[in-house]
């Protein structure tokens, strides 16, 4: 049974990885929890139902490790990648990673791209969502795609959740507002532009689905979990609405919403699918509008990373 490591395991994504390992025992059961962050080192937690402690990262602690999952930021991870042993494959889950940092792979879309690469990138959750939608439509020859992503506060980890919760509490209670170091402004009951440029995400998508043009806008939503996307696609040959619906229904990682007219981010919580709502034809542009949601920690995070590890 292979040895794996989770680096920076106390983040929301690290916790999801640890919990998901219990459902995917084939990945490995000998798990090392490592960190180069002082606030994590020495933390007592659990993995696969057993007690475990986060120990200080040192290069020799990755020796004999088959797969290392790296959360945290790229600033934290670059020194670790520089000392990666030759026998270790790294899977990056950094929200600020780019396609230049590793081979972007979305499980079920471009699995074959993982072969021969020592550093794999589990892309931004919004890229995972869009990749599954666009992969379903690939045979219909997508000529244009325009998307708006709304990402949740949990993309900024516990600090983002705590700031959004505190803002909400202060507004409802009509108490004095505290500083907003994470989002820089009121996010509760609001939408904000995202300081992260869209170019790295479009670069990740191009690495996963080469040749599909995408114009992308990213917004920060005042929601706790799950990423949402409004997607416009125009395909060659003017397919029918029925053809679009059939293509989506046939994709293994997509699921039609039970109540498509009321589909929201909350409906994706803890799901391992991308859930899509109504598909509407745009008579003016000749394309189609789709609305979809996905849990950023499960299908958009831990599940994608772990399925990459099993390739």
Give me the DSSP letters along 35-63.
Answer: ES-TTTTT-EEEETTEEEE-EE--GGGGT
Which residue's entry shows tokens 């690495």?
207
Instruction: Spell out the per-residue pLDDT of the chain, length 311, in tens.
Output: 588 999 999 999 999 998 888 776 555 568 999 999 999 999 999 887 788 999 999 999 999 999 999 998 999 999 999 999 999 999 999 988 999 999 999 999 999 999 999 999 999 999 999 999 999 999 999 999 999 999 999 999 999 999 999 999 999 999 998 999 999 999 999 999 997 778 999 999 999 999 999 999 999 999 999 999 999 999 998 899 999 999 999 999 999 999 999 999 999 998 999 999 999 999 888 899 999 999 999 999 999 999 998 85
Within 10 angstroms of residue 48's Cβ, the number of other Cβ atoms is 15
* Model confidence, pTM: 0.94
CB atoms within 10 A of CB 42: 11
CA 28 to chain centre: 22
Bridge pairing between strands 50-53 and 44-47: antiparallel
- What pLDDT is attached to residue 24? 67
Q: Where are the alpha helices (DSSP H) in the chain?
A: 12-21, 74-82, 125-136, 157-173, 199-208, 241-249, 303-309
The answer to whether the CB of 254 falls within 8 A of the CB of 291 is: no
All structural domains of the chain: 3-123+302-309 (3.40.50.720), 128-296 (3.30.360.10)
């Amino acid at each position: 049974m292979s040895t794996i490591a989770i680096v920076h395991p106390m983040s929301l994504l690290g916790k999801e990885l640890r919990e998901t390992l219990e459902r995917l025992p084939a990945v490995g059961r000998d798990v090392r929890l490592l960190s180069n962050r002082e606030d994590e080192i020495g933390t007592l937690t659990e993995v696969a139902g057993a007690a475990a402690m986060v120990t200080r990262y040192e290069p020799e602690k990755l020796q004999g490790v088959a797969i290392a999952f790296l959360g945290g930021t790229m600033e934290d991870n670059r020194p670790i990648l520089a000392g990666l042993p030759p026998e270790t494959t790294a899977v990056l889950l950094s929200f600020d990673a780019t396609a230049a940092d590793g081979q972007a792979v979305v499980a079920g879309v471009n699995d074959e791209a993982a072969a021969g690469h020592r550093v794999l990138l589990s892309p931004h959750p919004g890229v995972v969502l869009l990749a599954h939608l666009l992969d379903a439509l690939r045979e219909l020859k997508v000529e244009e795609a325009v998307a708006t992503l709304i990402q949740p506060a949990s993309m900024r980890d516990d600090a983002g959740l705590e700031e959004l919760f505190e803002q909400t509490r202060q507004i409802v209670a009509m108490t004095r507002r505290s500083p907003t170091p994470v989002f820089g402004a009121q996010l509760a009951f609001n939408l904000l532009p995202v300081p992260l440029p869209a170019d790295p995400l479009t670069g990740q998508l191009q690495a996963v689905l080469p040749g599909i043009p995408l114009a992308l806008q990213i917004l920060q939503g005042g929601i706790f979990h799950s990423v949402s996307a409004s997607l416009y696609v125009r395909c060659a040959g003017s397919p029918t609405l029925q053809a679009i619906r059939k293509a989506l229904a046939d994709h293994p990682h997509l699921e039609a919403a039970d109540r498509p007219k009321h589909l929201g981010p909350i409906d994706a919580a803890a799901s391992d699918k991308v859930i899509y709502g109504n598909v509407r034809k745009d008579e003016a542009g000749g394309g189609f509008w789709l609305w979809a949601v996905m849990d950023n920690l499960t299908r958009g995070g831990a599940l994608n990373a772990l399925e990459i590890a099993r390739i």
